[in-house]
Chain A
Amino acid sequence: MPTLHPVVDELCAAVGNDAVISDPDQLLVYECDGFPIARGMPVAVVFPTSTEQVSACVKTLNRHKLQIVPRGSGTGLAGGAVAYETGVIIATSRMNQIEAIDLENRCAVVQPGVRNLALTDALAGTGLHYSPDPSSQRASSIGGNASTNAGGINTLKYGVTTNHLLGLEMVLPDGEILRTRAGARCEGLGADLPGLICGHEGTFGIITKIWCRLVPRPGHLRTVYAIFENNYGACKTVSDVIAGGIVPTSMEMMDAAMIKIIEGAFHVGFPEDAGAVLLIEIDGIDQILDEQLEQILALARANGARDVEGCSDPARRDQLWSARKKAFGAIGRVSHSYCTQDACVPRSMLPEVMEEVGRIADRHGIAVTNVFHAGDGNIHPILLFDEDDPKQVQQTLAASQEILEHCIDIGGTLTGEHGVGVEKLHLMHRMFTQETIHAFKTIKATFDPDLCINDAKKIPSDRTFVELVRPVAANVPGGAL
């Protein structure tokens, strides 16, 4: 019988016996997040239901000098919620109340465990919604979204989580409760503290309340579907549309390999000899959308589109977007495992980057396919491999590294939306100067002088070195190796 850590009793006293997991079999569920290569067994997982309980738990863990690991829904794709070095996970999933909705001020107050889509669902019929729409939105929590500054398909026009954050409440690593700009006001007095905290990946504290900005739901929509012979024409169309003054809500591309994969699985009608598929969506005033639609179609044709289609029919729209959303699900038919990378590059460099991604994959003997948010320049190369073949695993790791290095070297970033977590810590020194890394550590130390919360995540640590477990594959998005 494993000996329970003495902290378990104190945590039970703080939150109740039914809010603490310490049984090793149950803890297995929490040994990783959506990035299964990073694994660590927590000492316990605790589920507070209030800010005060979070504070009590943090103080308890401080007394026992245990690492605090915040976790939302566990859908993160970079290992940010993994418990290393005798960590205890504080999971906010039971803090799932929408505390207030203020339609006149366009603001909602939510606990961190509220699922992203749940807030928009709660606003049904009001004409407003919560705009950030990561693909995990059915499961991911708003607290987790704020912690990672989550994006999504509609970020081109409507921004990412930080653009929809009015204020935050957070429990600091010493248990103190911090409030920033709480309320419906659209600015505060002084530096933008919510802006700094958004995207901190749980390294400053545990977010316990979020003031969310609500915006009108998109009304009328039009969807464009264009087939190209190659990536270049599709990418140029993306730039031309935006330069022409249209800001679509979304622009998604799939390359030749992905088209074949989707068509093979779902038979949606994509031509299997196509070089690229571009899906564009625009919203706005109904009387104007057809004019914009024609403008986009003309640009696509001018850039060599073989076939173009514009539609307003909701059923056809759903069919087209269903193909995009099923992309990852289709991969399982053709590959034992896959690894998705996340980088962002200047939009104008997309054609060059796509070619280089292909060359890198070829050099390492790994098949690659691409589906990405073309309007943002946010690429997701998907490397296909067999997890039972150690050589392929090594090749995939090496190819991933080279792809990210290339994206950094041409002026992009090593992560557009998934976060650094532990997955990309080793690339932070390539992305940032020594002085900047030191500045990040200074900021971190201001919130967490004892490095007791999520140490060695997001930024390199002087105290803790994380060595990722060598590949054990699982077929999930986000770098499952």
Chain B
Amino acid sequence: MSSTSHPNVVGATCIDNPEMLSQLVRRCIQQDTPLVDYGRDHDQLGHPPPIPHARLTQTGDILEHHERDMTVRAAAGITIGRLQAVLGARNQFFPIDADDDLTLGEVINHNVYGPLRVGYGAARDLILGLRYVDGEGHQIHVGGRTVKNVAGYDLSRFMVGSFGEMGIVYEATIRTYAIPQIVGATCFTIDDLSALDGQMTTWLKTDAAPTWLAASVQHGKARVNTGYFGRAKACGVQRAALHALVDGLDAASMDMSCDQDFAADIGWRHTWRQWRRSATLLCKLIVPPASTGTACQRLRAWTDDGNGRRLDAMPIHGCIFVGTDEADADVDSLDACVNDLVESLDALRQWHRRPPNAPTVPPFAPPQPDWPMLQRLKTAMDPHGLFNPGRMLETLRETS
């Protein structure tokens, strides 16, 4: 999805090298023009950019692939599809669930992750180093190529999930992993997802601990899919272990259990999340992991009430996406469900997409105790207020 939702762009620049980026930042300082990059799939996340602004996109490619070390340094503008293709030719992959057209920079800025987080972690666990341009146009190099590194402050991790407000990331060094020989895939249906809430820790301690796990609710049905990466014998043992656990659950039954190849596995998760790209209404919730099933069950009051409504969840990390592609989505009732979870389950909320005519609510809620410190750091790192100004930290003005 292109960034057509932000009008009043005074210019759009495509950058493919850090010198150009530094020069662009200095020009924007002189012209007092904010520089905006919300990414391809997050263009409605956060407060809208100021009027006017300049839009930035980045392109780029792999800069260094250290195959034996299983690290790669790449431009932030490289697409995930290109990155995975190059790595795949060397039997390696970057274990983040992200669509092919997203850039590495967008993945970092928005902490994009999916069910693979169970086995491999999120971006903060896979980044070894970053290069970014700061609010004065200087090129900053932090982290490096090594798996362990405690020299200097960890600005690499700090940038993950920063919504592009602290600096413009233009390069990243990331860890890669070997492509598994086979993937053991399972799918089971369950009447009540809240039955899983007390199970995840137990499952993780057994042979059934998955490499990835995803839940979904659509058309009134709740399903849980898992994947086990490894060799055929291992995957067989793990699938059998999960089967035994599912048999012990009330109102749950195993629908599918087989081995598949890595490409099919990637393809499944791509299909699983595709509805979000065209959703007219999309909210991300973060809950304590052991409350994921309960939260999903409460949201079913909304999802079960419309054909195009859907819910995806990653119970081991407490992440839920809920929304719909309906043109006239019932925003108010979803708002009410979501706000109820924010209050009763200590959930965090991000509105990724809302219809233009929906009443305005804060895109991020509730206000977090560390936002004032984040604002101070933003002011220090971006003193001219150039980078996606007001996207998230704007919220402070509403709460102070």
Contacts and interface: CB of A to CB of B under 8 A. Distances in A.
Contact of A412 (B144, B198, B201, B317): B144
Contacts of B371: 189-190
Interface string A184-227: 11111111110110111000000000000001110100000000
Interface residues of A, number: 88
Interface string A231-252: 0000000010011110100000
Nearest to A377: B146
Interface string B170-214: 000000011111000000000000000110110011010100000
Given A104-B198, A186-B317, A431 B231 contact: no
Nearest to A242: B70
B51 interface: no
A59 interface: no
B138 A439 contact: yes
Contacts of B201: 103-104, 106, 127-128
Given A189-B348, A288-B231, A446-B380, A162 B157 contact: yes
Most buried by B among A149, A156, A244, A442: A442
B348 A188 contact: yes
B286 interface: yes
Interface in B139-185: 139-142, 144-155, 157-163, 165-166, 177-181
Contacts of B147: 155-156, 344, 347, 376-378
Given A191-B158, A285-B237, A346-B71, A443 B153 contact: yes
A420 B154 CA distance: 13
A462 interface: no
A444 B380 CA distance: 10
Given A195-B160, A412-B145, A439 B155 contact: yes
Nearest to B159: A191
Contact of B111 (A187, A196, A442): A187
| Main SS class of interface, B | loop
B337 interface: no
Given A104-B197, A216-B205, A435-B138, A178 B148 contact: no
B86 interface: no
B287 A187 contact: no
Interface residues of B, number: 81
Nearest to A103: B201
A192 B158 contact: yes
Interface string A258-282: 0000000000000000000000000
Contacts of B224: none
B203 to A, nearest CB: 10
Nearest to B156: A195
A378 B148 contact: yes
Given A127-B205, A163-B125, A180-B370, A190 B152 contact: no
Given A151-B148, A162-B157, A443 B125 contact: no
A412 to B, nearest CB: 6
Given A189-B348, A287-B233, A347-B69, A431 B197 contact: no
A414 interface: yes
Given A443-B380, A446-B377, A190 B69 contact: no
A61 to B, nearest CB: 21
Nearest to A156: B147
A105 interface: yes
A440 interface: yes
Nearest to B289: A105
Contacts of B281: none
B381 A442 contact: yes
B40 to A, nearest CB: 21
A140 interface: no
Most-contacted residue by chain A among B67, B111, B161 (CB, 10 A): B161
B393 interface: yes
A242 B69 CA distance: 9
B286 A186 contact: yes
Contact of B69 (A183, A192, A219, A348): A348
B370 A411 contact: no
Given A439-B138, A459-B152, A189 B146 contact: no
Nearest to A127: B205
B66 interface: yes
B349 to A, nearest CB: 9
Given A192-B161, A288-B237, A416 B145 contact: no
B234 interface: yes
Interface string B45-75: 0000000000000000000001111110000
B288 A183 contact: yes
A381 to B, nearest CB: 16
Contacts of B145: 346, 411-412
A436 interface: yes
Contacts of B124: 162-163, 192, 195
B165 A442 contact: no
Nearest to A411: B145
B170 to A, nearest CB: 14
A291 interface: yes
A456 B154 CA distance: 18
A428 B151 contact: yes
Nearest to A189: B364
B238 interface: yes
Interface in B22-58: none
Contacts of A436: 140-142, 152
A190 B237 contact: no
B97 to A, nearest CB: 15
Interface in A412-450: 412-420, 424, 428, 431-433, 435-436, 438-440, 442-446
Nearest to B209: A216
B153 A200 contact: yes
B169 to A, nearest CB: 12
A396 interface: no
B220 interface: no
B149 A193 contact: no
A420 B238 contact: no
A188 B141 contact: no
A148 interface: yes
A238 B179 CA distance: 18
B374 A191 contact: yes
Nearest to A285: B207
A288 B181 CA distance: 14
A376 B233 contact: no
A420 B369 CA distance: 30
B233 A291 contact: yes
A245 B178 CA distance: 5
B392 interface: yes
B396 to A, nearest CB: 11
A242 B369 CA distance: 41
A187 B380 contact: no
B288 A149 contact: no
B235 to A, nearest CB: 9
Interface in B270-321: 286-290, 317-319
What 4 A-B pairs come out closest when comparing CB atoms? Answer: A195-B157, A191-B162, A245-B178, A104-B290
Given A190-B161, A191-B374, 6 more contacts: A191-B158, A195-B154, A245-B179, A245-B181, A377-B69, A432-B142
15 contacts: A105-B290, A149-B150, A160-B148, A185-B348, A187-B111, A192-B158, A195-B157, A196-B155, A245-B177, A245-B180, A346-B69, A348-B68, A418-B150, A431-B151, A444-B153
Interface of B: 66-71, 111, 121-122, 124-125, 134, 138-142, 144-155, 157-163, 165-166, 177-181, 197-198, 200-201, 204-205, 207, 209, 230-231, 233-234, 237-238, 286-290, 317-319, 346, 348, 350, 364, 368-371, 373-374, 376-377, 380-381, 392-393
